[in-house]
A and B are shown apart, each in its own frame.
Chain A
Amino acid sequence: MHKYASPKFFYSLAGRMTPWLGGVTALLLLSGLYLGLFVAPPDYQQGESYRIMFIHVPAAWMSMFVYMLMAGSGAVALVWNIKLAEIFASCSAPIGASFTFLALVTGSLWGKPMWGTWWVWDARLTSELILFFLYIGYMALEASIDDPRRAARASAILALVGVVNIPVIHFSVQWWNTLHQPASVSKMGVPTIATSMLIPLLLMALAFTVYFFVAVLIRMRNDILERERHTGWVAQMLESKP
């Protein structure tokens, strides 16, 4: 276990894994886009506009999933003082923020033709906007403290406090019945969505998930190099691979 948590070992492992994971992402994306744009039939109520779902829903799922990973690894870093967990949390934040931004804007682009408005202050939209501000606050707090270890601790605590927002986003469509439609796919019960639409949706969600790991590994490698600049292995590697 210690071997995997050593920055040197992780750096080379991540470098070898990213091309493969990138290939998997491309395959999943292409098949998801093909089935979602060409094979899935138009919706009987929303026509072709529902195809925004194949971007919007995976982006919204990722916005919450990445937040949970970020807060979880922040907690691991707080308790066990593992440097890699700190780096993972800090590298997840900008990616999570960009997924949240994508979910908000595509939601707006879907809301305009279907609801007649770009934005409403309904519970789902408001709590997702709060999630976006939590990511921004996390990054701002981290950037405001010079010592990376102290910055990681402070921002991890902020991320953990913000976790209360996640169930609010998830259950908001059940607790407050407003414009946003309830979930069509859930762990409990059969999805209320046609299989021809469900398969591309799941493929896109899987593509976004693997994509996240590609993006976070590339970022983590940059951070590892910077933080480990005083060590011998970084100097050796920069000499051997200029």
Chain B
Amino acid sequence: MNWSKFFAMGGYAVYVWSSYGLAAVVLFLNIYLPLHRRKKVRRLLREFLRLKEQTR
């Protein structure tokens, strides 16, 4: 396996690897962002429930 030949992609390296790189970013963000938001939602909800408890 010739790795430098593989990464050169027959002269189309910029186009091919930009495509795969962008796909990786899109696939990553669509999982990471909602998981990150999940923490925030749970924190806010606990806050909300505590306030509801206090004002009862």
**What residues make up the interface of A, taking CB atoms closer than 8 Å to B?**
37-38, 42, 47-49, 51-52, 55-56, 59, 94-95, 98-99, 101-102, 105-106, 109-110, 112-113, 211, 214-215, 218-219, 221-222, 225-226, 229, 234-235, 238, 242
Contacts and interface: CB of A to CB of B under 8 A. Distances in A.
Contacts of A229: 45, 48-49
A59 B26 CA distance: 11
A238 B45 contact: yes
Contacts of A234: 45
B10 A222 contact: no
A237 to B, nearest CB: 10
Contact of B23 (A59, A95, A225): A59
Interface residues of B, number: 28
B6 to A, nearest CB: 8
B46 A55 contact: no
Q: Specify the main secondary structure of chain B where it touches its partner.
A: helix
A242 B31 CA distance: 22
Q: Specify the main secondary structure of chain A where it touches its partner.
A: helix
Nearest to A91: B34
Contacts of A218: 31, 34-35, 38
A105 B19 CA distance: 8
B3 to A, nearest CB: 11
A47 B22 contact: no
A226 B12 contact: no
Contacts of A102: 22-23, 26
B26 A48 contact: no
Contacts of A56: 19
Contacts of A215: 30-31, 34
A40 to B, nearest CB: 13
A135 to B, nearest CB: 13
